Amino acid sequence: MVKVVVGTQWGDEGKGKIIDFLAQDMDIVARYQGGGNAGHTVVLEDKKYVFHLIPSGILYPDKICIIGNGVVLDPVSLFEEIEYLEKNGVSMEGRLFIAENAHVTLPYHKILDQIEDKFRGKGALGTTGRGIGTTYADKFNRIGVRVIDFIEDDIFMEKLKIALKLKNYLFREYYKEEMLAVDKIYKETEIYRQRIKKMVKNVTLYLNEEIDKGKNILAEGAQGTFLDIDFGTYPYVTASNSIAGGACTGLGISPKKITHITGVVKSYTTRVGMGPFPTELKDDDGEFLRSAGNEYGATTGRPRRCGWFDAVISRFAASINGLDEFVMTKLDVLTGIKKIKVAVAYKFDGELYKNYPFNTKVFSNCEAVYEELDGWSEDISSIREYNKLPDNAKRYVERIEELIEVPITKISTGSSREQMVIR
């Protein structure tokens, strides 16, 4: 079985917990895109772990974890994460593998990401500053450094010289910034190049062999559908294909081999960084969601923008990802809100939009058309059976299910592994 888990909003849907939950039945967990911009949180025995690069499945001592070719890998961040996990008793010896053809984030990618976003001025994207877009840009510009190049001293030196020639031109002539020295980067990365070697593998070959043997693979997506470079709210997106299709190109698995696709959806909507967000709340309800849901970025600590559930985008996400099911997270956060709204369409310039528009002008300026549902006041965080949920909570779930046209099979009611209602 190959199961893909994908975010269906703007990221931060709670994928970390769901991947951890689903990983129980898996042999291998493989990340297929994004990089250290992700922040997947898992709470295990009251301890909180935040993963940026390493798949969340690593907490199970018997699972193999893969960082796929679609990921951009910052070695500094990788080894920080490895050390943090090892200090907390998680050993990944012999079970964490990195694709030879994943691209490496180097110091100039991070510097340029931050400078470029500042230079965009009013049009800033609010990137995470982790060098994600700049690493992918080099990949597509064919001046990137793959992991397999990184670990071969002479090849790395050659590639670094070419890349820095271009980057230093930008630093000097355009950004009026200090230039970077080839030797310094070469030397500073030496320790990582040595340490990473034993984890590097042709993971595509490995994954395809394991699939043929009947092993269970979970392909872990980062960010969410509306941060996807092609289908998201461009240009306010990340630089990779976070949709389910990204699992094929980001791991080297044929679409024919994908057997199941799970979408993770939060019971309300959040977004970090800039960009349109029709159901955003700038009032007390938004403040309530931020505080009750602890909506602060796991990677940057930035407060997340909060708003009502948007069924229009989730229906689109169900369609382009080909979802078999939705897992809904954070239903407990809505407890105590008297009237809960759900967007069912948008209005712009006298026109009604029932589908997600690619036109940024429409999506940025439209008004959400809402349905209003009654809330509930009971604490639901310890409920495990669907029938025991308050009637209004069930009504909320079922109405959303009708609107997004895909079954909601699991509902998460808290951050720990056990806080899950299976329908």
Which residue, 227 or 261, is less far from ligand IMP as judged by CB? 227
Separation of alpha carbons 130 and 142, rounded Å = 20
Which residue, 59 or 227, is less far from ligand IMP as judged by CB? 227
Among 125, 311, 327, 400, binds ligand IMP (CB under 6 A): 125
Q: Which of residues 204-223 bind ligand IMP (CB under 6 A)?
A: 222-223
260 is catalytic: no
12 is catalytic: yes
Residue 134 near ligand IMP by CB under 6 A: no
Residue 318 near ligand IMP by CB under 6 A: no
Pair type for strands 367-374 and 339-348: antiparallel
Among 72, 239, 258, 323, binds ligand IMP (CB under 6 A): 239
97, β-bridge pairs: 66
Q: Could you tell me the smallest distance in angstroms from the CB atom of residue 333 to ligand IMP? A: 17
Which residue, 120 or 193, is less far from ligand IMP as judged by CB? 120
Residue 73 near ligand IMP by CB under 6 A: no
Q: Are 132 and 238 contacting, i.e. CB atoms less than 8 angstroms apart?
A: yes
Residue 303 near ligand IMP by CB under 6 A: no
**By C-alpha distance, which of 308, 247, 306, 209 is closest to 69?**
247
Residue 67 near ligand IMP by CB under 6 A: no
CA-to-CA separations, 25 to 19, 54, 66, 221, 248, in angstroms, rounded: 11, 18, 16, 18, 21
Which residue, 235 or 407, is less far from ligand IMP as judged by CB? 235
Q: Could you tell me the smallest distance in angstroms from the CB atom of residue 182 to ligand IMP? A: 26
Chain centre distance of CA 310: 19
Among 5, 9, 12, 341, binds ligand IMP (CB under 6 A): 12
Residue 238 near ligand IMP by CB under 6 A: yes
Which residue, 57 or 389, is less far from ligand IMP as judged by CB? 57
Residue 28 near ligand IMP by CB under 6 A: no
Among 8, 77, 128, 216, binds ligand IMP (CB under 6 A): 128
Q: Could you tell me the smallest distance in angstroms from the CB atom of residue 401 to ligand IMP? A: 25
Q: Could you tell me the smallest distance in angstroms from the CB atom of residue 297 to ligand IMP? A: 7
Residue 9 near ligand IMP by CB under 6 A: no
User: Active site residue: 20, 25, 27, 40, which one?
Assistant: 40
User: Active site residue: 12, 20, 74, 310, which one?
Assistant: 12
Residue 295 near ligand IMP by CB under 6 A: no
Q: Which of residues 264-293 bind ligand IMP (CB under 6 A)?
A: 272-273
Residue 18 near ligand IMP by CB under 6 A: no
Positive/negative CA dihedral, 337, 339, 345, 346: negative
Helix-helix angle 153-169:107-119, to 10 degrees? 20
Which residue, 216 or 223, is less far from ligand IMP as judged by CB? 223
Separation of alpha carbons 228 and 80, rounded Å = 27
Residue 5 near ligand IMP by CB under 6 A: no
Which residue, 57 or 273, is less far from ligand IMP as judged by CB? 273
Residue 37 near ligand IMP by CB under 6 A: yes
Which residue, 239 or 261, is less far from ligand IMP as judged by CB? 239
Separation of alpha carbons 302 and 12, rounded Å = 12
| Residues engaged in binding ligand IMP (CB under 6 A) | 10-12, 37-39, 125-128, 130, 132-133, 222-223, 227, 236, 238-239, 272-273
Q: Looking at the annotation, which residues are catalytic?
A: 12, 40
